[in-house]
């Protein structure tokens, strides 16, 4: 079984996360267990799931089948919008632990702020309390704007360790990354390849891939690493899983990084929302 050579990021609560993780949406059923197990076998040590992915059972099962020690793998899940009320949030995390078959989560995120419901600050207080009890080691958020971040930090004095946001070459999120830098929050990237719109055939990507003798997917993930973003690519293919993890032995030039970031301007893209579930869930 491969050991992971992935570096780690220090977080604002004193813990660490691997610099790349494995996204598990929409992996489900036996094929889902196989894909997560293979990700662990090729060396991923951070798994990203969510209540809304309905695959926490599969993720827990893959972890058990891997034979890896619990403390060698970090498991992250997410609180859905429909569980933001304080007591619901507490019960929700107990439910996640039960489905995963774990007695603690390494990281738990508020999946969306759901500002129209207006209970994300309550949800954050619940996560702060769950952390004190040791049920969740680190707590963070996803899809939060600066305003949402400031509100929960002011309310509790606790800064999220990560904000997981949509981030890829066609949507590099400069402003959000600058806010994270100021607040001491690590940027985690969902849809890091760009999903259906991945720029795998863009000349700026293929030229760098050719120069370095790597694949276009590896170039995109290396771009994340050089931005300081923590990507969580999903792949069902063991070969692409392996490639995606192998992005720490080569370097893009500053011009290549800038050229890839400039794909966003060509696109003129605006925030596109979340493809994997609905905000009000």
Ligand X SMILES: NC(=O)c1ccc[n+]([C@@H]2O[C@H](COP(=O)([O-])OP(=O)(O)OC[C@H]3O[C@@H](n4cnc5c(N)ncnc54)[C@H](OP(=O)(O)O)[C@@H]3O)[C@@H](O)[C@H]2O)c1
Exactly one of 9, 53, 86, 120 is catalytic; name it. Answer: 53
* 229 near ligand X (CB under 6 A): no
Query: Within positions 260 to 279, which residues make up the interface with ligand X, using CB under 6 A?
Result: 274, 276
Give min distance, CB of 236 to ligand X, in A: 4
CB nearer ligand X, residue 130 or residue 193: 193
* 25 near ligand X (CB under 6 A): yes
Q: Using the rule CB under 6 A, give the single segment among 8-16, 87-95, 235-243, 259-267 that binds ligand X.
A: 235-243
Give the Cα separation of 77 and 175 in Å (integer).
26
Give min distance, CB of 188 to ligand X, in A: 8
Interface pick for ligand X out of 60, 192, 199, 259 (rule CB under 6 A) = 192
* 202 near ligand X (CB under 6 A): no
- Indicate if 53 belongs to the active site: yes
Going by their DSSP bridges, the two strands 16-18 and 8-10 should be labelled as antiparallel
Give min distance, CB of 231 to ligand X, in A: 8
Give the Cα separation of 27 and 7 in Å (integer).
26
* 23 near ligand X (CB under 6 A): yes
If you write DSSP's letter for every residue of 35-67 in order, what string do you get? HHHHHHHHT--EEE--GGGT-HHHHHHHHHHHT
* 106 near ligand X (CB under 6 A): no
Alpha-carbon dihedral angle through residues 39, 41, 43, 47, given to the nearest 10 degrees? 40
Q: How far is CA 256 from CA 27, 169, 209, 261, in A?
A: 33, 12, 10, 9
| Residue 101 dihedral angles phi and psi, to the nearest 5° | 70, 35
* 77 near ligand X (CB under 6 A): no
User: Residue length, the chain?
Assistant: 281
Interface pick for ligand X out of 55, 138, 142, 173 (rule CB under 6 A) = 142
* 143 near ligand X (CB under 6 A): yes
How are strands ordered across the β-sheet holding 230-231? 22-23, 46-48, 74-79, 105-110, 136-142, 162-166, 186-190, 230-231
Q: Which residues bind ligand X (CB under 6 A)?
A: 23-25, 48, 111, 142-143, 164, 190-195, 198, 200, 215, 217, 232-237, 240, 243-244, 274, 276
């Amino acid at each position: 079984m491969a050991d992971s050579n992935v570096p780690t990021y220090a977080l604002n609560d004193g813990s660490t996360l691997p610099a790349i993780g494995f996204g598990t949406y929409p992996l489900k059923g036996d094929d889902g267990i196989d894909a997560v197990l293979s990700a662990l076998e090729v060396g991923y040590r951070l798994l990203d799931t969510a209540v809304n992915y309905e695959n926490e059972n599969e993720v827990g099962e893959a972890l058990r089948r891997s034979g890896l020690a619990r403390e060698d793998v970090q498991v992250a899940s997410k609180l859905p919008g429909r569980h933001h009320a304080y007591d619901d949030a507490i019960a929700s995390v107990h439910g996640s632990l039960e489905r995963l078959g774990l007695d603690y989560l390494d990281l738990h995120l508020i999946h969306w702020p759901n500002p129209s419901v207006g209970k994300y600050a309550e949800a954050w207080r619940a996560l702060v309390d769950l952390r004190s009890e040791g049920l969740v080691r680190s707590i963070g958020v996803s899809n939060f704007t600066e305003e949402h971040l400031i509100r929960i930090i002011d309310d509790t004095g606790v800064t999220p360790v990560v904000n997981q946001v949509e981030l890829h070459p066609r949507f590099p999120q400069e402003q959000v990354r600058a806010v994270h830098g100021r607040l001491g929050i690590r940027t985690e990237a969902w849809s890091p390849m760009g999903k259906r719109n991945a720029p795998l055939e863009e000349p700026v990507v293929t030229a760098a891939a050719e120069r370095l003798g790597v694949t276009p997917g590896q170039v995109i993930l290396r771009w994340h690493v050089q931005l300081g973003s923590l990507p969580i690519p999903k792949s069902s293919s063991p070969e692409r899983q392996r490639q995606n993890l192998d992005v720490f032995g080569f370097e893009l030039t500053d011009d290549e990084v800038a050229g890839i970031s400039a794909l966003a301007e060509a696109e003129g893209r605006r925030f596109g929302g979340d493809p994997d579930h609905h905000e009000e869930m």
